[in-house]
């Protein structure tokens, strides 16, 4: 079945540094979604990418969908302490989303 | 709107006991899901439903049963709890199939410990 892999598993940065997490699927994706989970919280939808090569920005966050629609990335410019949490990518498998294991981001002031 | 509501928030069970986790959504969503989250394992799909009266198995269905008698409710049952079922359980719902223009809305989770 489809597998969604994310790297790195953990990332610890100083506030102001950049951060990138990568997502790779074993199969071609129709689209990919990104979620953020704050410590102790629940996953919250961030964005969906649909088109090959698509790039979307949300303030300091930049999301990319690969040309082959098998990989994606999330880049955060100049991290802030409010960025702390786990970032998940997810791809459709049948009728439900298949989530990667997530990248946990820790930001030190 | 309350969104997706899960009860209870916390529960401790002894091995062999049974319980039902309740999930209710007020967004008139067709699709509902149960995921479990364990450290380092991400979110794994247990069961899901594509509409009232339907259920289907996900990635890790063993030891769980579900029912969707009403569109707004999705129940997850543990018939005989095992320590391996210690986890945080998230219910989610979406307007359409969780893939296209239909993000998942998650509840706040149920933290279950089986001793």
Residues of A in contact with B103 (CB under 8 A): 33, 45, 48
Residues of A in contact with B101 (CB under 8 A): 48
Q: Kindly determine whether residue A43 and residue B48, on different chains, have CB atoms separated by under 8 Å.
A: no
Provide CB contacts within 8 A for A78, sequence distance 6+: A16, A17, A18, A60
Within an 8 Å CB–CB cutoff, is residue A66 touching chain B? Answer: no
Q: Kindly determine whether residue B40 and residue A9, on different chains, have CB atoms separated by under 8 Å.
A: yes
- Closest CB to A48 among B33, B40, B103: B103
- Joined tokens for residue B52: 């009232």
Q: Which residues of chain B have pLDDT under 50?
A: none
Instruction: Walk along chain A (109 residues) and give the pLDDT tens digit of each residue.
Output: 788 999 999 999 999 999 999 999 999 998 999 999 999 999 999 999 999 999 999 999 999 999 999 999 999 999 999 999 999 999 987 788 899 999 999 999 9
Residues of A in contact with B106 (CB under 8 A): 42-44
CA gap A10, A84 in Å, rounded: 11
pLDDT on residue B101: 66
Within an 8 Å CB–CB cutoff, is residue A48 touching chain B? Answer: yes
What does the DSSP assignment read for B35-95?
A: EEEETTTEEEEEEEESSTT--EE-SS-TTEEEE-SSTTEEEEEESS--GGG-EEEEEEEES
Average pLDDT, chain A: 95
- Closest CB to B42 among A50, A95, A99: A99
Are B29 and B94 in contact, with CB atoms under 8 Å apart?
yes
């Amino acid at each position: 079945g489809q597998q969604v892999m994310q790297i790195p598993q953990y990332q610890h940065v100083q506030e102001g540094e950049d951060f990138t997490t990568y997502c790779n699927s074993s199969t071609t994706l129709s689209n990919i979604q990104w979620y953020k989970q704050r410590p102790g919280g629940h996953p919250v939808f961030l964005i969906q990418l649909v088109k090959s090569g698509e790039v979307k920005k949300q303030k300091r966050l930049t999301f990319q969908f690969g040309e082959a629609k098998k990989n994606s990335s999330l880049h955060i410019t100049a991290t802030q302490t409010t960025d702390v949490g786990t970032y998940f990518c997810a791809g459709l498998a049948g009728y439900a989303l298949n989530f990667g294991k997530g990248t946990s981001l820790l930001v030190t002031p | 709107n309350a969104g997706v509501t899960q009860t209870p928030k916390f529960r401790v069970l002894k091995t062999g006991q049974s319980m039902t986790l309740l999930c209710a959504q007020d967004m008139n969503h067709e699709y509902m899901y149960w995921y479990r989250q364990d450290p380092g394992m991400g979110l794994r799909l247990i069961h899901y439903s594509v509409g009232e009266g339907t259920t289907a198995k996900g990635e890790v269905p063993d030891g769980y049963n579900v029912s969707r008698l009403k569109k707004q409710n999705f129940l997850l049952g543990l018939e005989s709890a095992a320590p391996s079922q210690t986890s945080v359980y998230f219910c989610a719902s979406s307007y359409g199939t969780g893939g296209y223009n239909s993000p998942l809305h998650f509840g706040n989770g149920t933290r279950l410990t089986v001793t």
